[in-house]
A = this chain, B = another copy of it.
Amino acid sequence: MSATVNETSVASAVDLSDPVQVRRAIRVGIFKGFTNGVAPGYMQGNLVIVPEKHAANFERYCRSNPRPCPLLGISEPGNPRIPALAEDMDLRTDIGEYRIFRNGSAIGTATDIRELWQSDFVAFVLGCSFSFEQELMKAGIPLRHLIEGNVSPMYVTNIDTAAAGEFSGKLVVSMRGLRRQDVTRAVEITSRFPKFHGAPIHVGTPQTIGVDLEQPYGGHGLTKLHDDELPAFWACGATAQVALEQAQPRIAITHSRAHMVVTDLKSETFA
């Protein structure tokens, strides 16, 4: 792929249903969008990178809170690759947007973290609800945010997670509007995927869990529901980002917003 090829022609040559091509397009800066519409059927994940001194407690935090933080993979210290998830994947370049935390506060974003990478970094990949959205659609449950080309919003709830060492904090959820007649079936289907957050933790009445639908975490996603739709809330991997605010590691890096890790593994094999 020559640097002189113009972006339009390259983009048109990218098959966004192929996770290998999606990662390559992100790596070279051609694909900059949210990942919920690409590589359908392939598992996506949340990224959390912490210095090794925090890795053991973060792993314990994930195992203590498997609903929001289901572990899909952990790198060797200093190694930005987890070959079991995707042979060619480089976690320093293959995510569309990264979020940088310094001493526990999110200070900004980046599109490449090769300059920030440290020899003591350990990368964690946690399950993501995007992996079950296609399963719901296949089952005939229309997800209006997908049909409208949008993304599911996230919210910080008033529910405490289980602390592990320096890691603690409120549960973050993602929300999808479901037609009332689809709620039961959506619960059944998603409960088959514990690695992708499982069944909703709550349906209806956002205020019960401390949520205002108009105020999503990060400010993106479809928040206006139709009268015949109920909000359904799933535990969300962004919970780990809130836990970083509490743990206050000197540096940590996560994916940002809906720019997820795209793996080569088929979602259906995790049912």
User: Chain A interface (Cβ within 8 Å of chain B)?
Assistant: 100, 102-109, 155-158, 169-170, 172, 210-212, 215-219, 242, 245-246, 248, 250
Q: Which residues of B contact A211 (CB under 8 A)?
A: 102
Instruction: Known A170-B248, A250-B158; judge A106-B103 contact (CB<8 A).
Output: no
Query: Which B residues touch A104, using CB under 8 A?
Result: 156, 169-170, 242, 245
Partner of A158, one of B103, B156, B157: B103
22 inter-chain pairs at a CB distance below 8 angstroms, sorted by A residue, are A100-B215, A102-B155, A102-B156, A102-B210, A103-B210, A104-B156, A104-B242, A105-B170, A105-B245, A106-B106, A107-B155, A107-B156, A107-B216, A107-B218, A108-B215, A108-B216, A108-B218, A109-B219, A158-B250, A169-B248, A170-B248, A210-B250
Question: How distant is A215 from chain B, measured CB to nearest CB, in Å?
Answer: 6
**With the chains together, A105 CA to B240 CA distance in Å?**
12
Q: Report the minimal beta-carbon distance from A23 to chain B, rounded to whole angstroms.
A: 26
Q: How far is the CB of A140 from chain B (nearest CB, A)?
A: 33
Contact of A242 among B105, B158, B170, B212 (CB under 8 A): B105
A170 contacts across to B, CB distance below 8 A: 103-105, 248
- Shortest CB distance A136–B (Å): 26
- Main SS at interface, chain A: mixed
**A100 surroundings in chain B (CB, below 8 A):** 215
A237 to B105, CA, bound (A): 15
- Which residues of chain B have C-beta atoms less than 8 A from A219's C-beta? 107-109
CA distance A170 to B248 in the complex (A): 8
A248 to B157, CA, bound (A): 10
**Alpha-carbon separation in the docked complex, A217 to B216 (Å):** 21
Sample of 5 more A-B contacts, CB < 8 Å, known A105-B245, A106-B106: A102-B211, A103-B157, A105-B242, A107-B218, A245-B246
CA gap between A173 and B178 in the complex, in Å: 45
Which residue of B is nearest A242, CB measured?
B105
Chain B positions within 8 Å of A107 at CB level: 155-156, 215-219
The distance in angstroms between the C-alpha atoms of A156 and B219, with both chains bound, is 23
Task: Among A108, A156, A157, A212, find the residue whose CB has the most chain B CB atoms closer than 10 A.
Answer: A156
Q: Would A212 and B102 be within 8 Å (CB), given that A158-B250, A250-B158 are in contact?
A: yes
